[in-house]
Amino acid sequence: MPKKKTTPRTESVNNDVQRADQNIEVCHRLIDELTGLRRTLLDRESAMADALAQVSPRFRESARNLIHYLALRVRDLRPLQEQLAWLGLSSLGRSESHVLANLDKVLSLLHRITGQPWSDRSAEEPAGSVSSRRLLETHAVDLLGDYPQGRPVRIMVTLPSTAAHDFSVVRELVDAGMDIARINCAHDGAEDWQAMADHVRRAAKASQRTVHILMDLGGPKIRTGEVEPRPAILRLRPRRDEYGRAYRPYRLGLRPNDLFEVQDSVDGCIGVDAKWLAHLREGAQIDFADARGAKRHLLIVHCEDNLAIAEGLQTAYLSPQTILTIKGADNKKWGATPAGHIEALPGVLHLYRGDTLRVTKAGLGEAALYHDGSDQVIREVAHIACTLPEVIDQVNVGERIWFDDGRIGGIVRRTSAGALDVEVTQARDQGEKLVADKGINLPDSNLDLPALTEKDLADLQVAATLADMVGMSFVQRPQDVYRLRNELIGLGRADMGLVLKIETLKGFERLPELMLAAMSGERAGVMIARGDLAVECGYERLAEVQEEILWCAEAAHMPVIWATQVLETLAKTGLPSRAEISDAGLGVRAECVMLNKGPYITSAIRTLDDILRRMAHHQDKKRSLLRALRSWVG
C-alpha cells in the first residue's frame, strides 16, 4: 500500500505535536526535580529548629527564608535554570527574598502545563514576592530610619574629629544630605563622642530631619608597633621648574621657644631664643651651615610679635645642632641661636621583594643591619612588633600575611616562640615603606581573638547612651554576637541596632551563622567593609564576595551598608574618578552607602545623592527596572 503523502502543513502540525510532547516530558522531569528540591529546603529548616528558636519573632520568617536560600544554593542550579528558561518560566535567578514562594509558583505553572492538580501552599511559605519586600523595608526602617524623600538609599558619613567642637561642620553634613552619622570609637574619646552626638541631634532638629547615629567599636586591631625614629631633621625645599631653577622660595616660621606653636601658613616652623628673635627686622639676613655642612642664607620677609617669617631659595636640612646667626648691616655676624622644636622623623622600614621581615611580640622596630658597612651581607634582619602579641603563637608556616591595606604582602617562612620570619613577596619594584600603626591581615590563620576587647566594653557603655546602633568590627564567631547582645541587654539597650561589619575572610565564610545570631535581637544589619575584606580575600575576588553578601542579606531581609572608599577621591581632592562614580552607582543595591571624611565631603554627599536618585529608577536589588528611555526614543 503506498505511503500517504504529507504536505508541508501536515509536517508542521506533526512537528508541533512532537515539540509539545517533548515539553510535557521536560515538565514532568522538572516537577520531580523541583519537588525533591522543595523537600530538601523543608528538611533543612527542620534540622535548623534549634537555631530558629533563638531568633527574635520579628526575624523568624526571614530566618526561615535564609535557611531555604542556603539549602537552595548547595547545588549547581545552572542546568535546571537552562531548562526553566527554555520553557519561559522563572529560572529562580531572583528568588533570594522569597525562595519557597518562587519555587512553588514554578511548580504551580508546571502542574498546569501538564494538567495535574495543584493545591495552594502559601501557608507554608515564609515570604512571597510582595511580603518579602515589606519585611526588608521594615527591618531597614527599624535599623537605619525612614527612607529619604526621593531616594531609596540612606547616606552615612564618618564624622571628623572637628565635629566635636565645631557645630557648623555637622550642620553642613546634615544640610548636604547625611542621614546617618558614624562615630569611629577607634579615634577621639568619650567627651568628643558626646559632643558629636549633641551636634548631630541639634543639626537634625534645625533641619527638621531625623539623623541616626552609628558608633563603631574598634575591635581587636592587629597593627604594626613603633619603629625607631629617624634623626630630627627639617627639610626645606623651594619650588623648582623643569630645569631645576627655583621659582618660589620656601617659607620658614620662627617662634620663641617658650611660646612655640606650629604656624600653618609656612613650609616649616622652628623655635628660637626669644631675645634673638626680638632683634630681627624685615630685610635682615640669617646665615647658617645646615646638617650637611652646606652654607645657607635666609631673608626675613615679615616680623610681628613672637613671629618672624624667613624665605630661602636653596634646599636646606635643619637639625637641633644647626646654629642661626644674624648678619648685620656691616656684614658682621652677631647673635646666635640653635634651631629648636625640630621633631624626630617617624621611623620607617624600607622593604623589597625577597627581603625577610621579622614580626615580633614586643620591641622597637628597626631596619636591617649589615656586616662591616656592606649593603649585601645582613647581620640582623629588619623587624617590627605586632600590637597583639598573642597572634604570633597562632600563625603557621606557609600562611599569608599582609601589611598596610595590602600594599606589602608576604609568606610566613619560619615561626618561633617570639617571632615570625616573613618573606616579602608583594611590593613594588622600587620597594615599599612600612611605618608604625599600620594594619596587619592574616587571612589564612585561624586566630582565636575576642571580638570585644576591654576597650570595646568600656566604649559600649558610652555608645548605649548616645547611639541608635553599634557596629561590631572584625566579627567572626556567633558566640561573640550573642555576647554583645547580652551586654546591650545588661545596659538596658536591648532595642539597640547591631551592624555586623564583614571585613575578614572568616567573617564572610561564617556570615549565615553570624546573621542568625544577630537576628536574636530586634534590629540588625550588615556592613560590607570592602577595605579589609579586599585584602583578606584578594582584590580579584572582591566583586564576587560582595555580590554573595548582598544575596545572603537579601535572603535574610537584612539591610546592607555599602562601605569603604566610596567616592573617596572626590571627598579628598574634589575631583572624582570615573571608576568610583560607577562604583557609587552600585550602592543603590544596598539600603545605605557610607562615605568617609575628607575636605570635600559635602560635595561627595551631594554627588552621591544625585547618583542614587538617578539609579533608583533603573535598579532594585538584582532586578533591572525598565523605565521609559528618553535618550533614544523620539
Residues 472/515, Cβ–Cβ less than 8 Å: no
Sign of the CA dihedral running 97, 99, 104, 109: positive
Contacts of 529 (CB under 8 A, 6+ apart): 501, 502, 503, 563, 564
Q: Which CATH number fits domain 349-441: 3.30.9.10, 3.30.565.10, 1.10.10.10, 2.40.33.10?
A: 2.40.33.10
Would you say residue 5 has pLDDT above 80? no
The DSSP H or E segment spanning 155 is strand 154-158
Residues 93/85, Cβ–Cβ less than 8 Å: no
> Mean of the pLDDT values across residues 185-203?
96
3-state secondary structure string across 402-425: EECCCCEEEEEEEECCCEEEEEEE
Would you say residue 10 has pLDDT above 60? no
Would you say residue 407 has pLDDT above 90? yes
Sorting pLDDT into bands at 50, 70 and 90, what band is 450? Answer: confident
pLDDT at 630: 72
Q: What is the mean pLDDT of the chain?
A: 92
pLDDT at 263: 82
Residue 593's DSSP bridge partners are 155, 562
Task: Report the share of the chain in percent with pLDDT over 70.
Answer: 94
Sorting pLDDT into bands at 50, 70 and 90, what band is 14? Answer: very low
Sign of the CA dihedral running 417, 455, 446, 183: negative
Would you say residue 536 has pLDDT above 70? yes
pLDDT in tens, 564-584: 889 999 999 999 999 999 999
Question: Given phi > 0 = left and psi -120 to 50 = alpha, else beta, which region is 449?
Answer: beta
**C-alpha to C-alpha distance for 47 and 186, rounded to whole angstroms:** 40
Would you say residue 563 has pLDDT above 60? yes
pLDDT at 372: 62
**C-alpha to C-alpha distance for 64 and 57, rounded to whole angstroms:** 11
pLDDT in tens, 67-89: 999 999 999 999 999 999 988 89
Sorting pLDDT into bands at 50, 70 and 90, what band is 262? Answer: confident
pLDDT at 628: 80
Which residues make up the CATH 2.40.33.10 domain(s) of the chain?
349-441
302 φ/ψ angles, rounded to the nearest 5 degrees? -160, 140
Tell me which of 93-107, 158-172, 234-248, 319-333 is least confident: 319-333
Would you say residue 601 has pLDDT above 70? yes
- Helix (H, G, I), strand (E, B), or coil: what is residue 488? helix
- Helix (H, G, I), strand (E, B), or coil: what is residue 331? coil
**C-alpha to C-alpha distance for 81 and 395, rounded to whole angstroms:** 43
Rounded to two decimals, the pTM is 0.84
pLDDT at 623: 80
State in Å, rounded, how far the first CA of the chain is from the last one: 65
**C-alpha to C-alpha distance for 543 and 532, rounded to whole angstroms:** 14
**C-alpha to C-alpha distance for 511 and 203, rounded to whole angstroms:** 36
Sorting pLDDT into bands at 50, 70 and 90, what band is 18? Answer: low
**C-alpha to C-alpha distance for 522 and 526, rounded to whole angstroms:** 14
Would you say residue 413 has pLDDT above 60? yes
Which residues make up the CATH 3.20.20.60 domain(s) of the chain?
136-218+450-617
- 618 closest CA partner among 605, 629, 607, 609: 629
The DSSP H or E segment spanning 624 is strand 623-624
Longest dimension (CA), the chain: 137
**C-alpha to C-alpha distance for 44 and 172, rounded to whole angstroms:** 50
Residue type, 84: L
Would you say residue 27 has pLDDT above 50? yes
CATH class of 234-338: mainly beta
CATH topology of domain 136-218+450-617: TIM Barrel (3.20.20)
Residues 270/235, Cβ–Cβ less than 8 Å: no
Which cell goes with 236? 626645606
| Location of C-alpha cell 620570619 | 421
| Location of C-alpha cell 570615573 | 578
Distances (CA, A) of 568 to 36, 314, 503, 575, 577: 48, 36, 18, 9, 9
Tell me the H-state helices in 207-346: 274-278
> Mean of the pLDDT values across residues 105-112?
95
**C-alpha to C-alpha distance for 276 and 335, rounded to whole angstroms:** 6
Sign of the CA dihedral running 201, 207, 210, 212: negative
pLDDT at 264: 82
Distances (CA, A) of 252 to 265, 277, 322: 9, 13, 14
Task: Report the share of the chain in percent with pLDDT over 90.
Answer: 82
Instruction: Tell me how many helices (H) and strands (E) the chain has.
Output: 18, 31
pLDDT in tens, 460-510: 999 999 999 999 999 999 999 999 999 999 999 999 999 999 999 999 999
DSSP 123: G
pLDDT at 370: 76
pLDDT at 303: 94
